[in-house]
Amino acid sequence: MVLAAVRSIGFSQALRSEQDEEDFEQELVDQFLLAQIGAGVTDQFVRTERSVIFEFARFLDQYLWMASPSDADRFLAHLRHERRQARSTRESKAGTLARFFDFLIARYQGDIHALTGYVVLQPIDEFNRPSSSAFVAARIPPSDPEIETLFAKWRDALPEARKYLPAARDYLAASLWRRAGLRINETLMLDIKDWRPDLGEHGKIHVRFGKGSRGRGAKPRLVPAINSVDSLLQWWLTDVRHQFGDDYLDPDAPLFPSERRDQHTGGCARVGDDALRAGLAGAVERWLPAWQGRLSPHGLRHYCASSLYARGLDLKAVQELLGHEWLSTTTRYIHVHADHIDHAWAVANERLAARLTGE
């Protein structure tokens, strides 16, 4: 990522022309992006942030330091109604603008006021920022009996599948989302060497391409193969993987292969996310039709977090399993039944009674 050469904004200079004002605006954006790079974000993340800021500037048709909350209202409404952009896209763009204006206010409010006479406002506030709350219902996963029904019927149907190998692969991938909370990209990027049965009591999966926060690149982690993940991987590597091709002995070969061949290595190509999504969608349509079009790989990740928490895994452990940087993120993945508090209270009282009686 290459940014324009910038001068120090700390030494205010008069803006004598329209070109000076445009150059000053560019410098503010470049200083923000340089700060992002200093924080360790990826080039792609910086490019995305830059494009959003200038998209907003073009919409404003005035300088960025002149923006007000009403301008952000109009911009976000434009993205929704004219551009037909998804809520997640609008949330992301609002987040970019909020970070940029926080940066201006924190570092350059005085310079901007001295040069332009404007006091910078934060245009993204609690009233216009798209909320994720509308998605909470969509992210609440199916119940335990529904998930058990889906995967039991899916497993039982594998021997009769028209194309057994991709069916078994898709079943295993969905099982990792359900049981270990892996993201779909983390799953498809696994190689055979990333299964480490020698680590820990159950073995561990080396997730080398974990999602880093705010574009900070890959964040690797070791995921314990709890919740029957170890037996599933043993089944896959013992009975199935070798049927895709003789590259199963190559530690760098993909753990989740495509039926196609890689033109460079001659081995199996890596499966794409579309194939894995389609495999789950087909299974849901067939065996859990009430959730057709609603249960996604990310929904199974939510199910994993909720089910493990309900079974007694503490929040910190769930956080480490999912690879979240912040515990607050993990709490948004936990969806408990209405009687969870009553059950937890009863269990706590049982433990207290046992300690008092010495049992």
- CA angle in degrees (0–180, nearest 5) for 42-333-215: 5
Question: Could you tell me which of 303, 154, 175, 153 has the C-alpha nearest to residue 236?
Answer: 175
Digit-coded pLDDT (tens) for 164-196: 999 999 999 999 999 999 999 999 999 999 999
pLDDT at 343 over 70: no
Q: What is the per-residue pLDDT for 339?
A: 54
pLDDT band for 96, please (50, 70, 90 cuts): very high
CATH topology of domain 144-357: hpI Integrase; Chain A (1.10.443)
Alpha-carbon distance values, 272 to 169, 328, 332 (Å) = 12, 31, 28
Q: What is the per-residue pLDDT for 10?
A: 47
pLDDT at 11 over 60: no
Please count the other Cβ atoms lying within 10 Å of the Cβ belonging to residue 339. 9
Token code pair at residue 74: 């109009």
Token code pair at residue 69: 């909350």
Digit-coded pLDDT (tens) for 246-263: 999 999 999 999 999 988
pTM as predicted? 0.64
Q: What is the CATH number of domain 18-116?
A: 1.10.150
**Are the beta carbons of 273 and 182 closer than 8 angstroms?**
no
Q: What is the CA radius of gyration of the chain?
A: 25
Q: What is the per-residue pLDDT for 359?
A: 55
Q: Report the amino acid identity of residue 329.
A: T
Lowest mean pLDDT among 35-44, 189-198, 297-306: 35-44
Q: What are phi and psi of 268, to 5 degrees?
A: -70, 140
Residue where the block lists tokens 């080039």: 43
The CA distance from 268 to 253, in Å, is 7
**Where do the structural domains in the chain lie, given as residue ranges?**
18-116, 144-357
Q: What is the per-residue pLDDT for 219?
A: 86
Token code pair at residue 218: 């890959």
Digit-coded pLDDT (tens) for 127-165: 888 865 444 445 678 999 999 999 999 999 999 999 999
Q: What are phi and psi of 204, to 5 degrees?
A: -140, 150
pLDDT band for 15, please (50, 70, 90 cuts): confident
Please count the other Cβ atoms lying within 10 Å of the Cβ belonging to residue 284. 22
Token code pair at residue 244: 């895709």
Higher-confidence residue of 328 and 26: namely 26
Q: Please state the rounded mean pLDDT for residues 337-346.
A: 54
Cα 215–chain centre separation? 11
pLDDT band for 40, please (50, 70, 90 cuts): confident
